[in-house]
Amino acid sequence: MKIAVTSKGRNLDSKVDPRFGRAAYILIIDTDTLEFEVVDNAKNANSFKGAGIQAAASISEKNAEVLLTGFCGPNAFKTLDTANVKVVSDVAGIVRDAVKNFNKGDISFTDAANVEGHW
Amino acid sequence: MIISIASGKGGTGKTTVATNLAFSLGKNVQLMDCDVEEPNSHLFLNPEIKDKQAVIAPVPLIDEDKCTWCKKCMEICRFGAIAVVGKKVITFPDLCHSCGGCMAVCPEHAVSEGDRELGDIETGSIKENLFVQGRLNVGQVMSPPIIKKILTLARDGMVNIIDAPPGTSCPVIAAMKGADFVLLVTEPTPFGLHDLALAVETVKILKIPHGIVINRAGMGNDGVKEYAKKEGIPILMEIPFDKKIAQVYSRGELIVEKMPEYKDKFLDLFDHINRLIKDPGDKGAGFK
């Protein structure tokens, strides 16, 4: 399964970026092999409006089925929900550990945004 | 005639100047409160509101039967108001700026116009004078359409006084465009000066004659006066940093009513504005 994890750096030992729409990078990770693709999110991070919506559309395009991140706002959540991408919020620590916890099933999916827009 | 009262910095006294100037003139005046995020001129003027009309802006409606998910609408939208995910399209009306780009680029003509209410405009009177105010709905961010609509209500042959929003972005420009004169209200502090300079840059681009009112004069420093001198901008009035004025304001009263000696000062201000509209280089106006 492919999952998306917001990341402050370009590899699995980077910290999870708590922001979704304005995360530095988004890693698209194969949970079986831990192979990953780096999505540079700089364009969204600096966008004027709708960063979460754009980021959600881009991970949907990469066929990620799940998103692990810190905070997810209402517009991003609505887009992810429409795209059938499940969301795990309040994720922190190192990306590799977040994936490990996910594989162990040590997570819970959220059914709503956990922050207001433009928090 | 349209006089737009702006500031750059918020809380410098735009409403104080607008309402007291309007009241001092006393007749043939229309006050137009364009500070649509929090219109408050009415608190001082107590107008009788007679009519209220909604301000509507178009937002995209997607016909999913025609859509081929080409994403052209999503790509042109600067504001992220449309997202195409898989074979679904979602729109975010609150983010839409009603530019019509999505409709223009859709090769399938799958985008049509829906309505969104941005806010409303109320009109009424204060004795024989007129009053207009706009109000942006909670949760909406796009105020220029409301302000532009208010401006269409400016009356020929009347003195139309605009209470503009703070800042120097689109809403302020909407409240200045078409004005015969922009009165910049500032306070003599580093913050006041910083934002005044931004507002001056804006007015210069719009090429509108302008002058400065210093409110709370006596506090802060001489930075604003030095700046005005250097830039050749007339200082048309100074309102002192006076506890009595603050008390009058905080009770929702007008300075010119409670301290009648100020009425002549506001009439003087109007006279200076008139002279500068006729001749922006009139050295007799301002330049104390």
Domain ranges of chain A: 2-104
A58 in contact with chain B, both atoms CB, cutoff 8 A: no
A31 in contact with chain B, both atoms CB, cutoff 8 A: no
User: For residue B38, which of B131, B126, B134 has the smallest C-alpha distance?
Assistant: B134
Tell the CATH topology of A2-104.
Answer: Nucleotidyltransferase; domain 5 (3.30.420)
Report the alpha-carbon distance of residue B150 to residue B67 in Å, rounded: 37
Mean pLDDT calculated for residue range A26-35: 96
Q: Would you say residue B178 has pLDDT above 60?
A: yes
For CA atoms B40, B41, B47, B50, the dihedral sign is negative
Cβ count within 10 A of residue B66: 13
Name the residue of chain A whose CA is nearest to B87's CA: A83
Task: Say which of A47, A50, A83 has its CB closest to residue B85.
Answer: A83
B169: Cβ–Cβ under 8 A, 6 or more apart, which residues? none
Task: Say which of A47, A48, A82 has its CB closest to residue B85.
Answer: A82
B224: Cβ–Cβ under 8 A, 6 or more apart, which residues? B186, B187, B188, B192, B193, B196, B212, B214
CB-CB under 8 Å, A56 with B85: yes
Is B119 in contact with B132 (CB distance < 8 Å)? no
Per-residue model confidence as pLDDT tens digits over A108-117: 898 877 777 6
Is B171 in contact with B197 (CB distance < 8 Å)? no
Mean pLDDT taken over chain B: 94
Report the alpha-carbon distance of residue A51 to residue A48 in Å, rounded: 8
CATH numbers and ranges of domains, chain B: 2-28+157-278 (3.40.50.300), 56-117 (3.30.70.20)
Mean pLDDT calculated for residue range B21-28: 96
CA–CA distances in Å: residue B66 to residues A3, B63, B102, B200: 32, 6, 14, 49
Report the alpha-carbon distance of residue A8 to residue B287 in Å, rounded: 56
Structure tokens at B122: 């109320």
Could you tell me which residue, B281 or B205, shows the higher pLDDT? Answer: B205
State the Cα angle at B8 between B2 and B14, rounded to 5°: 55
Per-residue model confidence as pLDDT tens digits over B64-105: 999 999 999 999 998 889 999 989 999 999 889 899 999 999
Mean pLDDT calculated for residue range B106-132: 96
Q: Which pLDDT band holds residue B288 (cuts at 50, 70, 90)?
A: very low
Per-residue model confidence as pLDDT tens digits over B134-177: 999 998 888 999 999 999 999 999 999 999 999 999 999 999 99
Residues of A in contact with B79 (CB under 8 A): 48-50
Specify which residues B121 forms β-bridges with.
B53, B134
Specify which residues B120 forms β-bridges with.
B54, B135
Q: H-helix or E-strand containing A46? A: none
Q: H-helix or E-strand containing B79? A: none
Is A89 in contact with A70 (CB distance < 8 Å)? yes
**How many CB pairs below 8 A link A and B?**
45
Q: Which pLDDT band holds residue A49 (cuts at 50, 70, 90)?
A: confident
Report the alpha-carbon distance of residue B86 to residue A82 in Å, rounded: 9
User: For residue B232, which of B204, B266, B265 has the smallest C-alpha distance?
Assistant: B204
B182: Cβ–Cβ under 8 A, 6 or more apart, which residues? B3, B4, B5, B6, B176, B203, B206, B208, B209, B210
